Amino acid sequence: MKNLKSLKNPKNLKKILIGSVAFILIFILIISSVQGIITSPENQGLSNRVIYSADDLYNMSEIHAVPIDNNTANSAAANSKKPQVDAQSAILIDATNVDVIFELNAHQRLPMASTTKIMTAIVAIESGVPLDKIVTIAKEMTGIEGTSIYLSVNERFTLLDLIYALLLNSANDAAEAIAISVGGSVDKFADMMNAKAQELNLKDTHFTNPHGLDDDQHYTTAYDLAKIAAYALENENFYEIAGEKTHIIYPKNADGTDNKAAARYLSNHNKMLKLYKDSIGVKTGYTKRSGRCLVSAAERDGTRLVAVTLNASDDWNDHIEMLDYGFANYHSIDLCKENEYQFDVHVVNGYRINADGKKETVSSIKCENISAESASVLSAIKSEDITYKTELPQFIYAPVKKGDIVGRMVFMYNDYIVGYSIIVSYDDVEVVPQKKPNPIIAKIQEFFGKSKD
């Protein structure tokens, strides 16, 4: 009864009303402040990012094929013993997915002699310069030390002919002619080679010339060289040239006809084309400093393998042993097709313009894997033996652009990772603009701000 009487007192009632209003205003202020913290651009920046960068893509790329020890079904394979190679550095990869099947010091930087010309050829082919362009031989393109087709000043060859001489006869003068005619100079062409190396994310490769003559700043690794070869073999022109055993090129007369009297008869130095069944290339190399270098490739039953040895005394047999090992124990299987899998990821603070030109709130975005992927696995492993898991955030903040990397698929055989597929956004989502604060709340914030001072 006493409390009821106090409520009837006008002074007490006024105090209660003022206190209630103050409490409500303070509550609104607190909620507004928290909301401001959550939606402020500074805090959005902490979470508003994709999960992986382009560099991370390449960090995922070095996959090692499932070891034979991990699969008893392959333990009795006819050639299950690892190759015994006599090289300073070596590697065997599946060219389709760059899966590493066998390696020995594969990331050691070493000179690579004329295997350099794999990069020279593919850069020239992809340069945009027509392969039928006539190259008039200048003095600086002649007299290069080492292997040569003895180009003469004012002789005229097509760029394609010079690439044949480069890959089959390993002609250093042809390499210089290609570099100068395509790049403008040897140095500028070397820049083009290094740009391609960067594009392929070759961390341990640097070029100073198009032929591979010794230079302290001219080096690669077996792993990088295998990636170059695998990439080059995807080009139809390169594939055809590298696999030819013999070829004839003719300098052109002024009227465009062949000067048959000055023909060059080319014979491929790569004996693997004769020694190994299903061989398709690629390139030999040698200097006293580098030792014998060899890149070979073969394809069988849908699997393409690339082998590399650097500084090897018995390279032909090393490559035969590595390729035999690869074909006897491994095969390629498809992991996924391009855009085969779709996912939804929640998005915070996002909107888009709909077909009617109006803004609509977006609560989730469509995502998908961006490329077809395969893996090199033991012969006993089949597609149905492969599982996958997705690595995706629970939510991301707007804005999101189509093509932003948001996660990945991880393909596994038991607990062994056999491949990845990158997941990207399929949608563009804009960030909702900041709303102007309520004037009343702004006044309260201002008041309490001054009170702190």
Q: What is the pLDDT of residues 405-427, one digit of tens each?
A: 999 999 999 989 999 999 999 88
pLDDT in tens, 103-138: 999 999 999 999 999 999 999 999 999 999 999 999
Asked if 400 and 365 count as a contact pair (C-beta separation under 8 A), the reply is yes
Q: What's the DSSP call for residue 64?
A: B
Where does residue 39 rank: exposed (0-12), middle (13-18), buried (19+ CB within 10 A)?
Answer: middle
Whole-number CA gyration radius for the chain: 33
Catalytic residue numbers? 114, 117, 170
pLDDT at 355: 76
**How many CB atoms are closer than 10 A to CB 283?**
33
pLDDT at 153: 97
441, two tokens:
């709340």
Q: How far apart are CA 30 and CA 28, in angstroms?
A: 5
Q: Is 19 helix (H, G, I), strand (E, B) or coil?
A: helix
8-37: average pLDDT: 55
Question: Mean pLDDT, the chain, as a whole number?
Answer: 86
Residue at 250: amino acid letter: Y
Asked if 120 and 218 count as a contact pair (C-beta separation under 8 A), the reply is no
Is residue 89 over pLDDT 50?
yes
Is residue 283 over pLDDT 60?
yes
pLDDT at 68: 84
pLDDT at 350: 83
Q: How far apart are CA 73 and CA 63, in angstroms?
A: 21
53-76: average pLDDT: 65
382 sits in the region (left: phi over 0; alpha: psi -120 to 50; else beta) called beta
Query: pLDDT grade, residue 44 (50/70/90)?
Result: very low
Tell me the CB-side half-sphere exposure of residue 277, using CA atoms within 13 A: 4
255-267: average pLDDT: 95
Asked if 428 and 352 count as a contact pair (C-beta separation under 8 A), the reply is yes
Among 72-86, 185-199, 261-275, 298-312, the minimum mean pLDDT is found in 72-86
Query: pLDDT grade, residue 429 (50/70/90)?
Result: confident
